[in-house]
């Protein structure tokens, strides 16, 4: 059986990530580590969703670097551009073109109810632009162009997949069968990583306290230092418990990195203090991320190969996207 036939027999999965600066340990353990595993089971399409980044103000030079850095990091993590499609969203014009068709089949009221628009408007009141309002339609186009069977989603993206499904169903009912209706994909594993300084919040690179989050590309000393400073509680028992959110977060991270169960971790550190445990977590995370950082440094320096890979990825993506887009245009009634 040819590789093409094998690919056709696999279910399709689409995953996108914005180039919004340094990706964190939370991004890695919560989503990206699962992207690597999905490659064996699915026909995967991975995108750097750079068009979404400009809904907030960006420095052009910095944005360009972040796009390249994010693409290089995806390769360093182990995404295989030979077997799957790894591309930059803005290189495929069908994303914005299909977004217009979908916008004309999306209701204003649907967009006004989107919680992320409300949140981002509050954070950036000086720049409440139309793109910020309508970007869930662009996200729907991102998804529907590639006819995926599944889209991995976290709690904060569930609403966007739901609106994409609603738009697709409405379009299909109005014009005929064009889009696959994607299902949410809930990974078997995926840690919800919280802030190291405030375990009531998710780990985020936008946190003003740099000790609250660990970047995938942080060096070993920085990683260990941040874990040593992690907030725990006045107790000294390494045990998973709702009333011990700080230590529970560290147990979750240690489990995700080492593969050990909570029971095994509690037994391993029975009678030992928080200081010893925090050092062990820091070292385990540093060991996990070190090879990724090393591969990233090699990839980002080889600009010629990096460009070849993202150009090839965009060509592969556009081949699929163009077919879906022209089918939608034909159904709507445009002259092709």
Point out the catalytic residue in the list 11, 83, 205, 228.
205
313/84 Cα distance (integer angstroms): 9
278 is catalytic: no
Tokens of 17: 């990530």
d(CA 282, CA 294) in angstroms, rounded, equals 18
Q: Which of 147, 202, 226, 244 is catalytic?
A: 202
Residues in CB range of 261: below 8 A, 6 or more apart: 255
At how many degrees (to 10) do helices 303-332 and 60-77 cross? 100
Helix pair 115-123, 130-144: axis angle to 10 deg = 140
Residue 272 falls in the annotated catalytic set: no
* Active-site position among 33, 120, 244, 293: 120
What letter does residue 43 receive in the DSSP assignment?
Answer: E
Secondary structure of 105-173 in HEC code, one letter for each residue: CCCHHHHHCCHHHHHHHHHCHHHCCHHHHHHHHHHHHHHHCCCCCEEECCCCCHHHHHHHHHHHHHHHH
- In contact, 72 and 86? CB cutoff 8 Å: no
Report the SS3 class of residue 225. helix
Run of H or E residues at 48: strand 43-48
205 is catalytic: yes
Active site residues: 120, 202, 205
């Amino acid at each position: 059986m040819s590789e093409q036939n094998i690919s056709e027999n696999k279910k399709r999965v689409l995953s996108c990530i914005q180039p919004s600066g340094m990706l964190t340990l939370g991004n890695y353990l919560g989503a990206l580590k699962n992207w690597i595993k999905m490659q064996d089971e699915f026909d995967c399409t991975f995108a750097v969703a750079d068009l979404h980044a400009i809904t907030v103000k960006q420095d052009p030079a910095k944005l360009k670097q972040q796009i390249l850095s994010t693409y290089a990091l995806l390769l360093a993590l182990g995404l295989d551009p030979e077997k799957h499609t790894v591309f930059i969203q803005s290189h495929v014009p069908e994303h914005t073109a299909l977004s217009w068709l979908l916008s004309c089949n999306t209701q204003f009221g649907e967009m006004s109810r989107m919680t992320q628009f409300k949140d981002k408007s509050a954070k950036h009141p000086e720049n409440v632009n139309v793109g910020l309002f309508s970007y869930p339609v662009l996200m729907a186009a991102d998804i529907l162009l590639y006819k995926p069977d599944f889209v991995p989603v976290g709690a904060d993206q569930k609403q966007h997949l739901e609106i994409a499904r609603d738009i697709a169903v409405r379009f299909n009912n109005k014009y005929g069968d064009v889009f696959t209706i994607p299902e949410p994909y809930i990974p078997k594993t995926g840690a919800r990583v919280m802030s190291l300084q405030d375990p009531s919040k998710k780990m985020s690179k936008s946190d003003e306290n740099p000790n609250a989050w660990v970047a995938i590309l942080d060096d070993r000393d920085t990683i260990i230092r941040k874990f040593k400073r992690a907030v725990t509680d006045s107790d000294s028992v390494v045990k998973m418990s709702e009333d011990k959110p700080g230590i529970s977060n560290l147990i979750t991270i240690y489990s995700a990195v080492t593969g050990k169960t909570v029971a095994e971790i509690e037994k391993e550190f029975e009678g030992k203090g928080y200081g010893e445990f925090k050092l062990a977590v820091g070292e385990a995370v540093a060991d996990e991320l070190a090879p990724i950082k090393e591969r990233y440094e090699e990839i980002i320096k080889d600009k010629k190969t990096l460009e070849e890979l993202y150009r090839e990825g965009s060509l592969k993506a556009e081949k699929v996207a163009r077919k879906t887009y022209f089918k939608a245009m034909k159904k709507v009634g445009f002259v092709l």
